[in-house]
Structure 1
């Protein structure tokens, strides 16, 4: 009697199907480097976290709301009523006609009243926002109880122009002749004066976004290191994969999340800006924004590695404040330096890592930067990041498995492998 040989599904190692992920679903995961597995774990655990998603959504709504409010303010017309007695009716009419030329967001309507008592009654009854009347040495704008900012500015400008015109006509000349040579314009030795205001505002946004991302993600990275160390889970992980792979995965995972979040904020900001009166600046901001992303990436990797080191030096959550203090001070220096530095100090700081991560993008925004300056600054920042990663990897690897108390930098550097 013949017997059938049992069929087996075992594949030879030289069989191409053995390397096909469709026939071996777990094959690609087992062949992945450990740092990539840690990176995926960091990204997936955070990107599915409700607090992370809600925080990101809140910031998006905040940015969109801020831009929308400013756009609405720019388009909103402030309608004001100006009471005028017979002795000021002509001047009030001139203000009504010239108001759009002074401020196109202010519309003035004249309310003619018979006398002073009627004007004061109109103010008290909120029928008028101001009352214009002549005095011995000029004109006076009276309001009920508070300064009428937009109306006051329009009234001052129109009255001044009207009085100058009348005085010039009395002496046989014109206002233009009287004001010839008195115009003052502004210019900059570096950059484009037309973009100065927008560049300053966007520069502040760049500095704030870098500081916010580095602080939030850095603290979360350090806290996760402490939690794993305090629960002794890190000892199990370290027995399975090299510690340097664990560090690389954590840094790259948090960097990817920070960049994704940053891109969302920047896209929302630029799209929102395109719906405002500053939409003509959006194309000019694209280049500086790309440079900022590059500087952000290099600077964040360096700081993320230092945050991981701060977490590895602590044995308890309470120790993090002490181990992260130098890093927090460095970030404050970067924040205030990025906001306050100007002139020669700003130029020098734009080449000094890690401050250059926020200062150079601001210089690029202002204009007047030579083509080689951002490349040199980015190269120096990348070199700083590489040195930081090398030093941080050694400190992290030697401090991570030490328990029983806070580890000093000297102890971590000199500890045995």
Structure 2
């Protein structure tokens, strides 16, 4: 008797070995890989990501261009305003160095109005009863108005002070008001507010988009009865874990990409000195994002399992949508003690605590405590969501309520 050798091609044997390795992997890991691969090879997902990156880069580029741009402004002055107009030209750069004013002398009011009408001058400065007036054709130039107002005020105060025998410095002594914060750095307030808005928006956008897609995929599998075949092969908790982890990984990749593009772009603007200070809060935001997203993703999966048709998703996801709106507007509008309290309340803390970290004045233990509470909430949500998901997923007789899903038999 002769022994037959395996004559199959090498590629076939390699495929068999790869299949054997995949069969040894946990089911949840296989589902996670399927979720990630199916999305990153989807053209709409890739196009959406590229467009968002382009929008972020374009906005930052436009902001950098605006910061370095100097406005060329032509100011018409009649003979009785020539001295004040020259003062605006000389002292204006001290008020706003991005506004460059040049003068055009006119003989009278009619000549000034004619220049404005013909767009040969941007504004006309002239004295009126009780002060000065800056006339434009149809719309106000805020930058020019600020410069002219500051210079005119300074010149008039100097003249009034000279008439009373004191200097301008003596006249203005003690009249300035500086701003400051009990906690945090006042100079970073505007940047912190802007970046805080970006954090809140990114969390809301990612949780809504990926959550809806997760719920829709659950409904599609349930409606087509494919989930019954999957349930015969792997435990449903593994299916849920794979879907949640896969979508969390995809959302995290997107958010990290947007954050890197934003920080790199910011380094090319006038705010580049703040980039090192933003790195720490950005890292905290990523940690809070992961914990909060896992909790919400599990809830989105439950919303999908409760529905039997795509049309049912609006009803089953309404409470979750309302929760996300509360998080979004709460993250933007809360301040003071309400903000402090909300920064420890899951899942709102996922967006509120990173904003507090940005503003400064947060003790080292506060983010750790808030993150621990959020992680505990996520664990509780996963536990309850896994039970609801398993008990509702295979029920196809119509929309399932939370009470029915919780109390139904395995």
**Bin for the TM-score computed over the shorter chain:** over 0.9
Q: Say which SS state the counterpart of residue 224 (structure 1) adopts.
A: helix
Per-residue displacement from partner, 1:310-334 (whole Å, max 9, x unpaired)? 1001101111111111111111111
1:324 is matched with 317
1:362 is matched with 355
Q: CA deviation at 1:60?
A: 0.9
1:190 is matched with 183
1:89 paired to 2:82: yes
Q: Is the 8 A contact 1:221 1:307 kept in 2?
A: yes
Distance, in Å, in 1 between the alignment partners of 2:138 and 2:34 is: 62
Q: CA deviation at 1:50?
A: 0.8
- 1:118-267 alignment to 2 at 5 Å? 118-267=111-260
Which segments of 5 or more consecutive residues in structure 2 lack a partner in the other structure? 8-12
Please give the root-mean-square deviation of Cα atoms over the aligned residues, in Å: 1.6
Q: CA deviation at 1:100?
A: 1.0
Q: CA deviation at 1:388?
A: 0.6
Q: Is the 8 A contact 1:60 1:265 kept in 2?
A: yes
Deviates more, 1:130-139 or 1:336-345: 130-139
Per-residue displacement from partner, 1:105-139 (whole Å, max 9, x unpaired)? 11100011222222222222211111222223222
2:56 is matched with 63
2:298 is matched with 305
Per-residue displacement from partner, 1:346-390 (whole Å, max 9, x unpaired)? 111111111110111011001111101110110111111111101
Q: Is the 8 A contact 1:21 1:28 kept in 2?
A: no
Q: Is the 8 A contact 1:21 1:27 kept in 2?
A: no
1:416 paired to 2:375: no
Per-residue displacement from partner, 1:275-334 (whole Å, max 9, x unpaired)? 111110000000000000000000000000010011001101111111111111111111
Distance, in Å, in 2 between the alignment partners of 1:250 and 1:124 is: 64
1:6 paired to 2:10: no
Distance, in Å, in 1 between the alignment partners of 2:282 and 2:93 is: 36
1:388 paired to 2:385: no
1:275 is matched with 268
Q: Say which SS state the counterpart of residue 18 (structure 2) adopts.
A: coil
Distance, in Å, in 1 between the alignment partners of 2:52 and 2:106 is: 51
Distance, in Å, in 2 between the alignment partners of 1:72 and 1:117 is: 37
Distance, in Å, in 2 between the alignment partners of 1:116 and 1:187 is: 45
Q: CA deviation at 1:52?
A: 0.6
The list of structure 1 runs, each at least 4 consecutive aligned residues, that deviate by more than 3 angstroms after superposition, is: 7-10, 20-23
Q: CA deviation at 1:8?
A: 4.2
Distance, in Å, in 2 between the alignment partners of 1:144 and 1:316 is: 59
2:279 is matched with 286
Distance, in Å, in 1 between the alignment partners of 2:131 and 2:334 is: 45
Distance, in Å, in 2 between the alignment partners of 1:144 and 1:330 is: 49
Distance, in Å, in 1 between the alignment partners of 2:283 and 2:139 is: 47
Q: Say which SS state the counterpart of residue 127 (structure 2) adopts.
A: strand
Q: CA deviation at 1:237?
A: 0.5
Per-residue displacement from partner, 1:210-253 (whole Å, max 9, x unpaired)? 01111110000000000000000000000011111000000000
Which segments of 5 or more consecutive residues in structure 1 lack a partner in the other structure? 11-19
Alignment counterpart, residue 342 of structure 1, candidates 335, 340, 346: 335
